[in-house]
Structure 1
Amino acid sequence: MTRIDAEPLHSLRERTSEKWRTHPDDVLPLTVAEMDFPLAPPISAALHAAVERSDTGYVYTSLAVATAFAGFARDRWGWEVDPNRVTSTADVSLGIVEVLRQVTRPGDGVIITPPVYPPFFELAPEASARIVEVPLLGGIDDGWRLDLDGIDAAFAAGARAMVLCNPHNPVGLCHAADDLRTLADIAQRHGATIVSDEIHNALLREGAAYSPFLSVSDAAREVGVAVTSASKAFNVAGLKCALVITASDRGDAVRAAFPVEVQWRTGLFGEIASIAAFSAGGAWLDGVRETLDANAALLGELLAQKLPGVRYRIPDATYLAWLDLSALGWGDDPAAHALEHAKVALANGPEFGAEQGRGHARLNFGTSPEIIREAIDRLAALAAGSALVE
């Protein structure tokens, strides 16, 4: 395995994505969930070839990318995906909304489990449903898990669906297979649907166990719809391709009811990049995962040395660190304080859940060790009372 190194800061600042254009050049951006590595060579080659043949039209079918993903899922996790039970669309959030539109009616409750990816708070309202919060149990010290009793009670009170995050952003939790089986049984008992966002599934820490929701039981296949993408693991979010996956007649009926435009919104470049990623990007991905594992450990060492009051748990998956900065006294939104005074941009903790995110921030360590060190040095200097900007 060849380790993949992040690009140098001067090259990264030439990028035009949100991560690199939101803040001025004196800020280190560790916010948006995109990585700082060079594109996987098979993806780059496939995109260049498409440009050379002027292949820039509409997507024809989901079958090619679905078949590529099925092979990837089988090789990586032993998950058997039927390519004929996959519909592509533009991105995971759009896929979740379209599923919710099919399985809920206006005003129905949709369960989410904060702290969780901030757009989850908007997806149910976009589908004319309402949010029901059932926060995760546990915390940084002992880890997190689903509040299965709370979810059961929320379904009993009338919620009709749940958006599961597996692996869970921002805490990096891979939900235990037994918990997922229990969740499926609960949903089946209440006639509810589990929409499982599995976008971070390929970014596993060495030794971590990820269980695709649709793989854990017959009940999960009956009540579940999975939505995933190559976008996080292979850094191709801007190309727009995600997959909505089902494994039962009930799930198939959800996809069959989608408006035709759901698939047509898939980006052809996204499909081309995803096929290359799933078919030929494995070696690159493993090299990136090796770097991320080293970065996660480095972050822990630096925090212990320079910011011992900050609490952090190495995630099972993702390249995202959920940090409890409460001990520093930087207020409910420490990310705002860090940006203003240390020129380090972190993701705003309360946006992941007003209560659960208070005093927290999310840090993206999908970058170089040099940038991580510089960021922690700046935060440590601020904590010591020598802010860069007063």
Structure 2
Amino acid sequence: MTRIPHETPGEANPLQALTLDRLRCRTSMKWRTYPADVLPLWVAEMDVPLAEPVVAAVTQALALGDTGYPAGTAYAEALALFAAKRWAWDGLAVERTAIVPDVMLGVVEMLKLVTGPGDPVVVNPPVYPPFFQFVAHMDRRIAEAPLGADGRLDLAVLEDAYRRAVFGGGRAAHLLCSPHNPTGTVHTARELAAVAALARRYGVRVVVDEIHAPLTAPGGDFVPWLAVPGAENGLSLMSASKGWNLAGLKAALAVAGPEAAADLALLPEEVSHGPSHVGVLAHTAALLEGTGWLDALLAGLDDNRRLLTALLAEHLPGVRYRPGDATYLAWLDCRALGLGDDPAAVFLERGRVALSCGLDFGTGGAGHVRLNIATSPEILTEGVRRMTAALR
């Protein structure tokens, strides 16, 4: 099938639709964690209005009182259509999917299928902090295979981690973030194939968080894990949550490769009770009818990457920033500023701007911050101004 990764945006940039005063009316985590004088550029919420098809789907459900339990495969069918058009991937088999409450709870359930208590789970820090928290909470142990200095997977380090993880004959898994959070790295087909080959060689099962896949930048080339040769026994978690700002409308899909279908069939039936039915309707509408909105967003994010690059070069030249090819997250190396291991604390105290602390992302996070660029150019500019003021 012909791959149509991005279309020419026919809608206005949603990142320019809302004023700061309007955003401060929100009651979600981003806007209620810190005092009102703090500019929040931290947690993964976007400063956008919802796509109209999503609003319509939710409004219709509420008008009908259609707020019961989720049913059917419409979400999986919509994701399969989106994947075929966006990534030229026809291998998303609806019969090998399961609805789960959200991606991280889905990760927990997938890891329960392929590992047991005390077994190791390999991760690639610096990486999304809940990877550490959820794995520890489910009584598995973290095995680190840090990214290379270039922010990409280090295959030699990964192989060593695999070797140590399976030593003694236990079961092991690799929890892969693709695209990677916080760096925005999009793993190449060659890199993913190499990971699949290593996982086969050492008997490591790969579970992949692909929640940021719809946020691949124009010109980027996202490769679904289950499309990679050798990854047929993999398990993936996908969702419209990040791409369309639907974190409060809980729903995600677990997708199994053909050799993992029997594993997925063991998923407890009660897991399917956790997602929101209204969430499923919203995510389905986003995937089917919200691609024009998504493409306008992606164009706006690309503009913001260029803006952030220019702002840092002018005002904070000591900060190193390598724009990623996906996500709306910027991973900033602030070590040259002399602010210690936790520059986010300094920016918050002195500049009244909230960024994510790099230490929370594990090895490689010291001296770094994560900044959310999914906001207006004006707010992004103000954020950098506050960071600069914190150094005076």
TM-score scaled to structure 1, two decimals?
0.94
1:330 CA drift (Å): 1.4
Counterpart-to-counterpart distance in 1, 2:162 and 2:386: 46
* Percent identity of paired positions between Structure 1 and Structure 2: 48
Counterpart-to-counterpart distance in 1, 2:235 and 2:198: 15
AA partner of residue 201 (structure 1)? A
After TM superposition, the structure 1 = structure 2 runs for residues 360-371 of structure 1, keeping only pairs within 5 Å, are 360-371=368-379
Alpha carbons 1:56, 1:268 under 8 Å: kept: yes
Aligned to 2:323, what secondary structure does the other structure show?
coil
Counterpart-to-counterpart distance in 2, 1:34 and 1:221: 33
Identify which of 271, 281, 288 aligns with 2:297: 288
Moved more, 47-56 or 117-126: 117-126
Identify which of 153, 164, 172 aligns with 1:146: 153
AA partner of residue 188 (structure 1)? R
Are 1:339 and 2:338 matched, yes or no?
A: no
Counterpart-to-counterpart distance in 2, 1:289 and 1:334: 29
Identify which of 161, 165, 173 aligns with 1:158: 165
Counterpart-to-counterpart distance in 2, 1:34 and 1:189: 39
Counterpart-to-counterpart distance in 2, 1:181 and 1:71: 24
Alpha carbons 1:98, 1:127 under 8 Å: kept: no
Map of 2:74 onto structure 1: 64
Map of 2:3 onto structure 1: none
Counterpart-to-counterpart distance in 1, 2:118 and 2:374: 38
1:208 CA drift (Å): 1.1
1:150 CA drift (Å): 2.0
After TM superposition, the structure 1 = structure 2 runs for residues 245-284 of structure 1, keeping only pairs within 5 Å, are 245-248=255-258, 250-284=259-293
Map of 1:378 onto structure 2: 386
The 1:15–1:51 alpha-carbon spacing in structure 2 relative to 1, beyond 3 Å, is same
Counterpart-to-counterpart distance in 1, 2:14 and 2:381: 15
Counterpart-to-counterpart distance in 2, 1:156 and 1:27: 46
Map of 1:130 onto structure 2: 141
Map of 1:13 onto structure 2: 24
Map of 1:388 onto structure 2: none
After TM superposition, the structure 1 = structure 2 runs for residues 85-104 of structure 1, keeping only pairs within 5 Å, are 85-104=96-115
Alpha carbons 1:4, 1:37 under 8 Å: kept: no
Counterpart-to-counterpart distance in 2, 1:267 and 1:252: 24
AA partner of residue 152 (structure 1)? E
Moved more, 32-41 or 324-333: 324-333
Counterpart-to-counterpart distance in 2, 1:311 and 1:103: 39
Counterpart-to-counterpart distance in 2, 1:12 and 1:347: 19
Aligned to 2:248, what secondary structure does the other structure show?
helix
* 1:218-275 Cα shifts (integer Å, max 9, x gaps): x1122x1110110000000111001100121x31122111111111111111100011
AA partner of residue 148 (structure 1)? L
Alpha carbons 2:47, 2:375 under 8 Å: kept: yes
Are 1:119 and 2:130 matched, yes or no?
A: yes
1:124 CA drift (Å): 2.0
Moved more, 149-158 or 159-168: 149-158
Counterpart-to-counterpart distance in 2, 1:356 and 1:194: 22
TM-score scaled to structure 2, two decimals?
0.94
Residues matched between the structures, number = 375
AA partner of residue 357 (structure 1)? G
Aligned to 2:149, what secondary structure does the other structure show?
strand
Counterpart-to-counterpart distance in 2, 1:188 and 1:127: 25
Map of 2:49 onto structure 1: 38
Counterpart-to-counterpart distance in 2, 1:340 and 1:106: 41
Map of 2:179 onto structure 1: 167
Counterpart-to-counterpart distance in 1, 2:335 and 2:51: 38
Alpha carbons 2:30, 2:40 under 8 Å: kept: yes
Alpha carbons 1:336, 1:348 under 8 Å: kept: yes
Counterpart-to-counterpart distance in 2, 1:344 and 1:158: 40
* 1:156-215 Cα shifts (integer Å, max 9, x gaps): 223410000000000000011111111111111222210010000011111111111111
Aligned to 1:274, what secondary structure does the other structure show?
helix
* 1:110-157 Cα shifts (integer Å, max 9, x gaps): 100000000011222233211001100123xxxx22121222222222
1:380 CA drift (Å): 1.2
Could you tell me which runs of 5 or more consecutive residues in structure 1 were left unpaired when the two chains were aligned.
386-390
Counterpart-to-counterpart distance in 2, 1:157 and 1:328: 37
AA partner of residue 310 (structure 1)? V
Map of 2:238 onto structure 1: 228
Counterpart-to-counterpart distance in 1, 2:211 and 2:149: 23
Identify which of 197, 211, 215 aligns with 2:223: 211
1:5 CA drift (Å): 3.1
Alpha carbons 2:350, 2:389 under 8 Å: kept: no
